[in-house]
Structure 1
Amino acid sequence: MGKRRIKPHEYIGYLLEAIVVIPLSLIVALLPWRVGYALADALAALFFRIDKKNKKWAYENLKIIFADNPLSQKEADDLVKRTYKNLARGGFEYFKIWQISAKNASHFAYFENYHYIEECLTQGKGIIVVTCHLGNWEYFGSIAAKKGVNLAVIINRQFNPFTDAWLRFIREKWGKIKCFYNEVADMKGIVRHLKNNGVIAILADQTYYFKPIFVPFFGKQSATADGPAKLHLRYDSPIVMGFSIREPDGRYRLTFEKPYIHPKTNDFEKDVHEVMTYINSRYEEYIRRYPDQWFSLLHPRWERTRPEDFENIDWDPF
């Protein structure tokens, strides 16, 4: 994938969107923390009331996540409200990421089981850190990078080229994270980064629309990206599951799990499915424990569950 040809009317729409979004984000970035959090909470309450579409997905997803132990209506309402609040606060924090440094990072987050990263780096094969849209995943990467980790993330290109460039600027310049697009053109850079003993962070918890594989996720066959598995199997880089969790004091616990290395067989596709099934199983545990911190609760994760649902989707929109 790469840059796509933009029609004139699309170009104007994207430009107008950027003219509004970018200055607003700069204003948000300059707000005092208390003011920003208060504004985020107010916006969260408003969107909970008016955002019918995404709220609908949240309730449907909760029925799947807690199929064995259904929530009451009040429990579901309270949980979804907290989801909007956590998302709004996370968005504010994203634009404030420029204020976090290696020296003051402990005021915002702390690492747990970081020794797994250090041990893997001694092997010289790079690391694939697989995380999800839980807590504040941007802090996860940025704080690690500012503390000296040679870290890069794989991101999806936004359709709007102006906001895409702006969001990448925030990650690279403010967050100090190297970015690669989830595109063929960037694969050489991704592989080179791993071979140079770098850390690649990947999020794979949302529906993957471009040639997905189907593996279990909360008991349902789910369209899933296979990138983490293929990188692991082809380049022998260990997979380390990592999660960002907001604690009661407002800080984030950035925790790592024991490295995962899949025993290879002669059936590559089977191995890919088994690796992604393992990753989804780890997602399940943390999402069940912290469902209100899972941004993808508002995402139509199980809207399409069959291969035929993706037949008419352009797998290379760029």
Structure 2
Amino acid sequence: MLFLAKLLSFIFFLIPDRIVMVIAVILSPVFYNAMKKGKWGFKIKRILPKVFKGRNEQWYKRIMRKNSIHLMKFAGEMLKAHYKMDYFLRKKCYIAEGREFLEQLVSNNRGFMIVTCHLGNWEYAAAWLAMEYGEIYAPVFVENSSGNRALNWIRTGHRVNMLETSYDPRVSTKSLIKMIRLLENGKIVFIVSDQEALGGDYTGKLFG
């Protein structure tokens, strides 16, 4: 899986962004079918009725189709993230508002934490921040699988370091202690927060 990720990343690196987006639209039915069947960890089919109650089936299908296109575009962008050159990162990424607060945190020469929701391509955000402000340390929950090792290789292309967290409290405790030490040493910790519907509730879950 790691070899495949490296191969696809190199191939997608050579393809212009616009063409990658066209390819994503063409291949989006693959993700749509997976969403309908709940495969590959997709939970949108059961999350939508819990978050958006009282909608009809056609509305849910339309949202899933739109989401499948978005996720396929996201996957295409993610495959380009590892080799993305600084020049293109500067063209692609920007802070819409609030940059002055980030600049203030950086100028204080103290560690700080950024919390973001996993609704966009955080790989680009982490890479851009690392390029502009120094190394990023990201605690991301991953299962010990070849697929996740491949994903983490893609994510670590621009001075972005992964901190292991898991359902094992010992692993997550070690990661938390390391995060505290990193903050004390003036580093940037970049936390990705996922959403997960459990027991009918819509909850946020930190540590990926």
> Structure 1 length normalisation: TM-score?
0.53
1:279-317 superposed Cα distances (whole Å, 9 cap, x missing partner): xxxxxxxxxxxxxxxxxxxxxxxxxxxxxxxxxxxxxxx
1:157-212 superposed Cα distances (whole Å, 9 cap, x missing partner): 3322x54444333322x23212211234444432221112222111222449xxxx
Which residue, 179, 190, 193 being the options, matches 2:162?
A: 179
Aligned residues: 198
Q: Assess if the C-alpha contact under 8 Å between 1:100 and 1:143 holds in 2.
A: no
- 1:142 match: 127
Q: Distance in 2 between matches of 1:80 and 1:188?
A: 39
Unaligned runs of 5+ in 2: 166-170
- 1:220 match: 201
Q: Assess if the C-alpha contact under 8 Å between 2:25 and 2:69 holds in 1.
A: yes
Which residue, 91, 112, 115 being the options, matches 2:75?
A: 91
- 1:201 match: 190
Distance 1:57 1:47, change over 3 A: same
Which residue, 56, 59, 62 being the options, matches 2:45?
A: 59
Q: Assess if the C-alpha contact under 8 Å between 2:139 and 2:162 holds in 1.
A: yes
Q: Distance in 2 between matches of 1:223 and 1:88?
A: 24
- 2:89 match: 105
Unaligned runs of 5+ in 1: 1-16, 209-213, 229-318
Q: Assess if the C-alpha contact under 8 Å between 1:43 and 1:88 holds in 2.
A: yes
Q: Distance in 2 between matches of 1:199 and 1:127?
A: 5
Q: Distance in 2 between matches of 1:104 and 1:22?
A: 20
Q: SS at the partner of 1:99? A: coil
Q: Distance in 1 between matches of 2:202 and 2:35?
A: 28
Q: Assess if the C-alpha contact under 8 Å between 2:5 and 2:150 holds in 1.
A: no
Larger radius of gyration: 1
What is the alpha-carbon root mean square deviation over aligned residues? 3.2
Give percent identity, aligned residues only.
Answer: 21
Q: CA deviation at 1:153?
A: 0.8
Q: Assess if the C-alpha contact under 8 Å between 1:126 and 1:194 holds in 2.
A: yes
Distance 1:141 1:187, change over 3 A: same
Which amino acid in the other structure matches residue 159 of structure 2? Answer: K
- Within 5 A, what are the aligned runs for 1:1-318? 17-49=1-33, 51-54=35-38, 57-67=43-53, 70-97=54-81, 98-101=83-86, 103-111=87-95, 112-160=97-145, 162-172=146-156, 174-182=157-165, 183=171, 184-207=173-196, 220=201, 222=203, 224-225=205-206
Q: Distance in 2 between matches of 1:76 and 1:24?
A: 32
Q: Assess if the C-alpha contact under 8 Å between 1:29 and 1:92 holds in 2.
A: no
Q: Distance in 2 between matches of 1:185 and 1:139?
A: 26
Q: SS at the partner of 1:130? A: strand
> Structure 2 length normalisation: TM-score?
0.76
